[in-house]
Amino acid sequence: MEAITIKDIAKALNLSTSTVSRALRNSYEINPETKRLVMEYAEKMNYRPNPIALSLKDSKSKSIGVIIPEIANHFFSQLINGIESIAYNLGYHVVIFQSHDSYEREVANTNYLVSRKVDGLLISLASLTTNLFHFQDLMEKGLPIVFLDRVPKEIETHKVVADNFDGSYRATVHLIESGRRRIAHVTSPIYLSITTERLAGYKKALEDFDIPFDESLVKYCIYGGKVVEENEAAMEELLNLPEPPDAFFTASDRLTTGCMAVLQKRHIKIPEEIAIVGFTNISVAELLNPPLTAVVQPAMEMGQQAVELLIRLIEHPQKTGDYEIRSLQTSLILRDSSVGSKVNIKVS
């Protein structure tokens, strides 16, 4: 009934637990015959070592913790799929938690994972996280951490990100070349890395085309579109500007769909009156009305690379420095929300 233990095997075979352990672990000094006996019996009884006991013993768990803002978002669920596929093959389990963009939740999840002795952490920062002590502390204690997507400048470790600057630059250039001049940028809180990078790409594009940057065209949404009112308020202000925007460049799934909903409600024609480009991995972009032009991140691949780096860190602890920052290409997929005809362009 209850799971069989090493002790049971020892008793059955009239051996000591240490001998059994050695046999199972394929250890050095062990009689081949004894080993065979133990192996066979263990196999027959379907013995499985108790991972909890192992964790208690050496503070390891062959599992990694993942903390992301939220699961109900295509970018993040693709990220997870990438993470899982690799981790699974390398024999690690993945424990997923959502921070719901709350600092407190992020800290609580982190503590839990650490107390459960995960071997490493994969983090995409909550938008409300400004204090990084909970991670810095762990890093100093030697816990491997890799950040992805939303990464902190202040912490030195491996990081995997999309080339946000470039994706944003291309999207903006595309809008400009399509004749837009008043391009609004609706984005996430300013203290997220993705926000500043995307903002920078946006600004650079304007600059390259000699369009003056207008602060009033940029809206930072603390809740990233999760609070409908916030999003609507931002849209409201933009649309009521003396010189309203002729295009929207939105920085996330929620922000994008939120904006589209508002435009639709107001019966504003897309793209005739206002064009829209979203930085989003939403799966049904093609089916939207109109089909949505999007900057798509290689989410799956980002997840894969991040775990690879993490597991490398776990299995071959580095002394110091020499951390990688991998920046992956995004793709700009052109659709009707910003142009008439459909074209796919791989951004380099």
Buried b / exposed e along 205-242 (16+ C-beta atoms within 10 A): bbeeeebeeeeebbbbbebbbbeeebbeebbeebeeee
Q: How far apart are CA 25 and CA 40, in angstroms?
A: 14
Q: Which of 1, 46, 57, 344 binds DNA (CB under 7 A)?
A: 57
Q: Which of 36, 40, 53, 81 binds DNA (CB under 7 A)?
A: 53
Residues in contact with DNA, shown as a per-residue x/- string from 10 to 29 under the rule CB under 7 A: ----xxxxxx-xx-xx-xxx
116 near a copy of itself (CB under 8 A): yes
Nearest to 221 by CA among 288, 128, 297: 128
Q: 343 contacts which partner out of a copy of itself, DNA, none, CB within 5 to 8 A by kind?
A: none
Q: How far apart are CA 253 and CA 256, in angstroms?
A: 5
114 near DNA (CB under 7 A): no
Q: 95 contacts which partner out of a copy of itself, DNA, none, CB within 5 to 8 A by kind?
A: a copy of itself
CB of 105 to DNA, least distance (A): 24
Kindly tell me which of 2 and 140 has the beta carbon lying closer to DNA: 2
Give the Cα-Cα-Cα angle 345, 325, 251 (nearest 5 degrees): 50
Q: 24 contacts which partner out of a copy of itself, DNA, none, CB within 5 to 8 A by kind?
A: DNA
Inter-residue contact 308 to 88 (CB < 8 Å): no
Kindly tell me which of 61 and 252 has the beta carbon lying closer to DNA: 61
Give the Cα-Cα-Cα angle 125, 276, 345 (nearest 5 degrees): 85
Strands 145-148 and 218-220: unpaired
74 near a copy of itself (CB under 8 A): yes
Q: Which of 13, 21, 39, 291 binds a copy of itself (CB under 8 A)?
A: 291
Residues that contact a copy of itself, how many (by CB under 8 A):
42
Residue 150, φ and ψ in degrees, nearest 5: -100, 100
Q: Which helix (H) or strand (E) holds 100?
A: none
- Contact region for a copy of itself (CB under 8 A) — 19-27, 35-43, 90-98, 151-159? 90-98
Residues that bind DNA (CB under 7 A): 2-3, 5-7, 14-19, 21-22, 24-25, 27-31, 33-35, 48-50, 53-54, 56-58
Residues that bind a copy of itself (CB under 8 A): 1, 3, 48, 50-53, 55-56, 70-74, 77-78, 80-81, 84, 93, 95-96, 98, 111-112, 115-117, 141, 257, 260-261, 264, 282-284, 286-291
